[in-house]
Amino acid sequence: MDNKPKLTISGYRGIWGESLNRQIIENFTKAFVLFVRENIKENSTLLLGRDGRENGPEIKQIIIEILNQSGINFVDGDILPTPTVLFAVKKHEYDGAIIITASHNPREYNGLKFVTNRALFANQEEVEKIKNNYSRIENNELPQNEERVIKNENTENFSYINFPQEHADQILKHINVLAIRNKKWKVAVDMINASACVLDPYLFENLGIEIIPLNNIPDGNFGHQPEPLRENLSDIGNLVRQEKCHIGFAHDPDADRLVVIDEEGQVISEEYTLALGTEAVLSKNLINKVIINMSTSQMNCDIAKKYVGECIRTKVGEAHVVEGILENKAIIGGEGGGGIIYPTINLARDSFVSIALILELLSERNQTLKECIETLPHYEMFKDKVPVVGSLDEMYGKMKDHFNDCTVNELDGLRLDFADNSWIHLRPSNTEPIVRLIGEAKTIERIEELFKEAKEVVS
């Protein structure tokens, strides 16, 4: 079994002290330094950011030690939301960034994400280059000239810049602040004791919103399991009800995902975050494109059709969606886990952009969240997993033979689309010997029927 650290387009994550340790951090940092030096001028500058986890300062210090040896200049942004890091790399024309984050994983985890000079996460080709560098470092295979690249003590550190305020100001430039201010919103926000704490107060103050904060100290002591799923968000639902708030929001630790809570304290499916953003943007920009991944709700395609637009699907993964947005000059995109990508403001999943677009939509239409959701297309989504039986090709072959009245798409796993807009998507896990099964239909009965058939076919 290969026990080497596995870097993907989503970065690398592990349990600190176990599957993530000092040596892995050092080697990945050196590997990224080599990648930067292969692509960028000699006098490079990187940005460092972290999501607020307790072990973040220790990991950051290890990275700083390597950067100080390497001769690469860096800016220590300390606690920064992931979308803020990408925004800052673009605005200040940095040569890349390292983000210390494990996204929505539990508190004992941490990890690394790498941002290139394009102000985008490393794509698959770039990830392969970083992985190759890592392997050569681990096996002591660097030629002498490359070894010197990561041993050069001429680093210059730069002074503090208020990146969160710059990010928020960019959002405020591109939304209807007056409409939001006039509604006099009272909003509960769960910041999960992480990076959203450094941006939310400024953003809400400038939107004229009364904020009722929850878990708003960025010390990494998460008030609940950090993935923003319904079962983890009872506290914010209760707070909305108790404080009679108009709406609630919940971030994940690195603040790229957002879940919305309605005025009755009901946690809304994370799929609605992007659907609300798509409605907000396409309703004002007809005949435009939206980019989503293979497992994201059909709601977005229906909304695009309503506004004479086009919905294009990509492989799962933010980097794939972003590339799709760039290739198709799309106006909006994202993933169903609560991540809106609105390139007018930021070319990354951005929970703060999501908040602004949703509040703008509701303010301009004078609707509550519940009223607005009732106007959107409705689907029932199921998610499950099945063990790999035989080979993936055999599993996919059985599915195609059985479901022969549908459109087949094998861009990323196997997706089957039916005439009634229902669909199922099978995609192998990167970490377990399982296949993830996700699907959607207009009714619970229909999606239950599809899932039952699919499981019987592949078992």
90 CB-near residues (< 8 Å, 6+ apart): 119, 347
pLDDT tens figures, 30-88: 999 999 988 766 678 999 999 999 999 999 999 999 999 988 899 999 999 999 999 99
pLDDT tier, 430 (very low <50, low <70, confident <90, very high otherwise): confident
pLDDT at 146: 59
Mean pLDDT computed over 139-161: 60
pLDDT at 432: 76
Report residue 169 CA to chain centroid gap.
21
Predicted confidence (pLDDT) at residue 154 exceeds the cutoff of 50: no
pLDDT at 47: 97
Residue 289, helix vs strand vs coil = strand
Spatial distance between the Cα atoms of 207 and 25, rounded to a whole number of angstroms: 39
Strands 289-293 and 332-335: parallel
pLDDT tier, 1 (very low <50, low <70, confident <90, very high otherwise): very low
And the tokens for 154?
A: 């001429």
Using left for φ > 0, alpha for ψ between -120 and 50, and beta otherwise, residue 35 falls in: alpha
pLDDT tier, 292 (very low <50, low <70, confident <90, very high otherwise): very high
Mean pLDDT computed over 347-364: 98
pLDDT tens figures, 208-228: 999 999 999 999 999 999 999
Mean pLDDT taken over the chain: 93
Mean pLDDT computed over 324-348: 96
In this prediction the pTM is 0.94
Spatial distance between the Cα atoms of 302 and 298, rounded to a whole number of angstroms: 6
